[in-house]
């Protein structure tokens, strides 16, 4: 790997003690200078490099390359040094990390070349190191500022979108309200005329229920930009989860989706607006079914976890990519060709207004779990799920 035996540490030290230009440059230079053997080991270094790395002159002889180099950079440095010895390079230069005596990272710009004897045989390596820590930290601060600016710009774009929703939804809510009021009116009229055992009664009740839910969706859309006060009362979360499932069960079964349910028996009441939470659960169940186009299993579960009411909706569908997972709650973001991208954004807003949160876990090809976390009243105890 090398030509010639190379200079020893004692020979280099003797040369450095001999008066002359080499000695003056080595000791007086404002940049770090390191002299290394052909085996890649540190032979000696000048006072500037010692100051740069926080070591004293007395500690110099015990220093090693492994001690002052960042461990993640050692392999790359060694590969470049081998190329130098093999004659593939005349010199090499790179930005690299060093370790200060106190453990923090020092950035340096390193230039390495070989010093040869009169016959062209390499004797030792000389590396010159410029401390660029201040520049690197300034660049890192600039990158962080750019990232913060990007995030701020994205937030402003989202705010503009929400503002547009507010203006548009006011018009939509008005336009939807009139036909929905008529539908509800006729449905109620027909219900009053239906006998209790009339087979059409159940269908009419579904029509009325879905019309009321559509009105609630329009109000929630408006609430994205102009939140309205909701009416909260002690609510049975298990029952709220069962209701949208009852509406969708026939569709789920026809789509080859098997449903499993596990409800905590002592979940206790949650102070909530029933209509709003029902909308959240309806949206999560619908999304889960749309992720299982070839059929699968939909699991609904409630539990008490660390004092919170947890409602989990799990599917065995296609899953969500890591890239998309970070955006699923953003307004207008959708992976579906016909999706509006508002369902999960609205749902998160509703849950946050209730003092809770929504989390999501997903693996591509395996499925997704959305969990709604809601605060409960004090004094409830954890119990078994049925």
Give which of 105, 111, 110 is closest to 136, Cα–Cα: 105
Q: Which of 217, 319, 300 is nearest to 328 (CA)?
A: 319
> Could you tell me the two tokens for 68?
């002052």
Cα–Cα distance, 126 to 106 (Å, whole number): 19
Share of residues in the chain with pLDDT > 90 (%): 26
Per-residue model confidence as pLDDT tens digits over 142-187: 998 888 888 777 766 666 666 666 667 667 777 777 788 888 888 8
Contact 276, 216 (CB under 8 A): yes
| Kind of pairing between the strands at 308-315 and 257-262 | unpaired
Band (pLDDT 50/70/90 cuts) for residue 222 is low
Give the whole-number percent of the chain exceeding pLDDT 70: 86
Pairing of strands 42-45, 32-36: antiparallel
Question: For residue 371, is pLDDT > 90?
Answer: yes
Tokens representing 72 are 């993640």
Let me know: does 176 contact 218? Beta carbons within 8 Å. Answer: yes
User: Rounded to a whole number, what is the largest CA-CA distance in the chain?
Assistant: 116
Minimum mean pLDDT among 71-85, 102-116, 149-163: which range? Answer: 149-163
Q: pLDDT value at position 230?
A: 60
Q: Is the pLDDT of residue 381 over 50?
A: no
pLDDT in tens, 230-286: 677 888 999 888 888 877 888 888 889 999 999 998 888 888 888 788 889 988 999
DSSP three-state, residue 264: strand
Token code pair at residue 27 = 């000791």
Distance CA 62, CA 42 (A): 10
This prediction has a pTM of 0.46
Could you tell me the domains of the chain?
9-131 (3.30.450.20), 134-228 (1.10.287), 231-386 (3.30.565.10)
Q: What is the pLDDT of residues 316-359, one digit of tens each?
A: 998 988 888 888 888 777 766 555 567 788 888 889 988 999 99
Mean pLDDT, residues 113-117 taken together? 88
- 194 Cβ contact list (under 8 Å, min separation 6): 200, 201, 204
Could you give the CA distance from residue 119 to residue 358 in angstroms, rounded to a whole number? 74
Q: CA 178 to CA 352: how far, in whole Å? A: 30
Task: Average the pLDDT over 94-121 and give the result.
Answer: 90
H helix count then E strand count, the chain: 11, 12
- For the segment 5-16, the average pLDDT, to the nearest whole number, is 77
DSSP β-ladder status, 91-99 and 32-36: unpaired
pLDDT at 15: 77
Question: Is the pLDDT assigned to residue 73 strictly greater than 70?
Answer: yes
Q: Name the one residue in this structure whose structure tokens are 């919170």.
A: 308
């Amino acid at each position: 790997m090398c030509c010639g035996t190379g200079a020893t540490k004692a020979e280099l030290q003797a040369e450095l003690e001999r008066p002359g230009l080499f000695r003056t440059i080595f000791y007086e230079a404002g940049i770090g200078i390191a002299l290394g053997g052909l085996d890649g080991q540190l032979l000696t270094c000048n006072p500037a490099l010692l100051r740069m790395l926080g070591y004293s002159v007395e500690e110099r002889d015990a220093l090693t390359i492994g001690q002052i180099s960042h461990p993640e950079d050692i392999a790359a440095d060694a590969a470049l040094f081998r190329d130098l010895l093999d004659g593939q390079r005349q010199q090499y230069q790179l930005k690299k990390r060093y370790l200060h005596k106190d453990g923090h990272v020092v950035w340096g710009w390193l230039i390495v070349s070989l010093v040869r004897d009169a016959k062209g045989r390499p004797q030792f390596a000389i590396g010159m190191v410029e401390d660029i820590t201040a520049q690197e930290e300034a660049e890192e601060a600039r990158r962080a500022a750019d990232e913060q600016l990007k995030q701020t710009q994205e937030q402003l774009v989202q705010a503009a979108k929400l503002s547009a929703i507010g203006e548009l939804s006011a018009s939509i809510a008005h336009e939807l309200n009139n036909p929905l009021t008529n539908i509800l009116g006729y449905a109620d009229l027909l219900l009053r005329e239906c006998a209790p055992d009339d087979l059409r009664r159940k269908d009419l009740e579904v029509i009325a229920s879905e019309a009321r839910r559509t009105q609630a969706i329009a109000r929630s859309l408006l609430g994205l930009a102009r939140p309205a006060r909701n009416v909260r009362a002690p609510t049975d979360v298990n029952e709220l989860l069962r209701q949208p499932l009852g509406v969708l069960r026939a569709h789920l079964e026809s789509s080859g989706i098997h449903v499993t349910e596990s409800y905590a028996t002592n979940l206790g009441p949650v102070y909530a607006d029933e209509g709003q939470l029902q909308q959240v659960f309806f949206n999560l169940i619908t999304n889960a079914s749309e992720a299982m186009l070839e059929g699968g299993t939909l699991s609904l579960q409630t539990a008490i976890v660390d004092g919170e009411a947890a409602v989990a909706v799990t599917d065995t569908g296609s899953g969500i990519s890591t890239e998309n997972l970070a955006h699923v709650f953003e307004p207008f973001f959708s992976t579906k060709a016909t999706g509006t991208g508002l369902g999960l954004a609205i749902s998160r807003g509703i849950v946050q207004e209730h003092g809770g949160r929504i989390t999501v876990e997903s693996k591509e090809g395996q499925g997704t779990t959305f969990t709604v976390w809601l605060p409960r009243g004090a004094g409830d105890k954890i119990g078994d799920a049925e």
